[in-house]
Amino acid sequence: MRPTASRHVFDAAFTLDDAQAAAADTLSTPGDRGVYLWGPVGRGKTWLLDSYFAAADTTAKKRVHFHSFFRDLHAAYFRHGFSIDAAIDDVLSTGSAPAALLCFDEFHVHDIGDARLITRMLDALFARGVVLVVTSNYAPDELLPNPLFHPAFVPTIEKLKRCLDVVRVGGPVDYRAAGASGSRFASGTWTVEPVSGGRTFAELCCAARSTGDYLEMVQKAPQLTITDIPALASVDDFAAQRFANLVDVLYDRDVRTEFHSAVPLTEFAVGCTGLDTDRLISRLSELGSRSRECAADRVRIPGSQ
């Protein structure tokens, strides 16, 4: 049974739009299925998830960004001799009891290797009766979009749709773009000029690096400079996806980053296909929002549409 949260917790701070209200209704209604909240960036999915998690009537719960959870699962999987059951037991620990409610923020699947482990992970979680509540920028049918690999993931997608209530959170307003940001990430810059020092795009994204590598890197660095960033369409799909994963990590961990590119941000992703460019550009568009009015040498980036 899905833990419930009182409906009024969602109305305490904001006036919900229709899509948010429908999601809040689902999260506050008793049921035996999890919930899959999906929609464009900036529509309040993470806020809905966090409000639900805080009020859910259980102590056996865990909320985590999917990047971090999957990194920990990878580590536990190797640590326990490739036993998925032992790895799941490890990462479900809450300090007192295994989590019966698991909340993922920003669930997505881009890599076929990750997809195989995610399939095993979901099978193990559902077999234990763990309730999943997740947010995603993708509808379930859009996960692992690469047409070469997508058919192999369809059975897992169908299982997700059987076990979770799928709710689209797609109101007309991008609240992330509309609101003022006070984050360290937003204080960073995107500059079209050469610079020495820092880490190059090739070093960070053209070698075989995982999201776990990026998470480990930012734990040691309060800020980062990335240089020699080319137009995204000029690199292969793997390098482009690694850059998107890196930006996800920098954004989630709120790391101030200076990006130095050969092209302005408005042209950076032109012609790039097979990648979630909407989310990537939405996040990069927040750069400079804390001091845009006084940064004459900073590239001026329009808000996401």
Side-chain half-sphere exposure of 274, counting CA atoms within 13 A: 17
Tokens representing 91? 């990462």
Contact 91, 72 (CB under 8 A): yes
Contact 169, 44 (CB under 8 A): yes
Segment 93-135, tens digit of pLDDT: 876 678 999 999 989 887 788 899 999 999 999 999 999 999 9
- In the chain, domain spans: 7-168, 176-294
Strands 223-229 and 256-261: parallel
Mean pLDDT confidence for 264-292: 79
Tokens representing 254? 């709120």
**Residues found in the chain:** 305
Q: Which CATH number fits domain 7-168: 3.20.20.80, 3.40.50.300, 3.40.50.880, 3.90.650.10?
A: 3.40.50.300
Q: How far is CA 19 from CA 45, 150, 166, in A?
A: 10, 28, 13
Q: How far apart are CA 264 and CA 266, in angstroms?
A: 5
CA of residue 48 relative to chain centroid, distance: 15
Q: How far apart are CA 170 and CA 18, in angstroms?
A: 9
CATH topology match: 7-168 vs 176-294: yes
Q: How far apart are CA 278 and CA 4, in angstroms?
A: 32
Segment 141-174, tens digit of pLDDT: 999 887 888 999 999 999 999 999 999 999 888 7
Q: How far apart are CA 104 and CA 135, in angstroms?
A: 6
Q: Which CATH code fits 176-294? A: 3.40.50
* Phi and psi based region of residue 81 (left: phi greater than 0; alpha: psi -120 to 50; beta: remaining): left
Segment 180-239, tens digit of pLDDT: 456 788 899 999 988 888 899 999 999 988 877 888 888 878 789 999 999 999 999 889
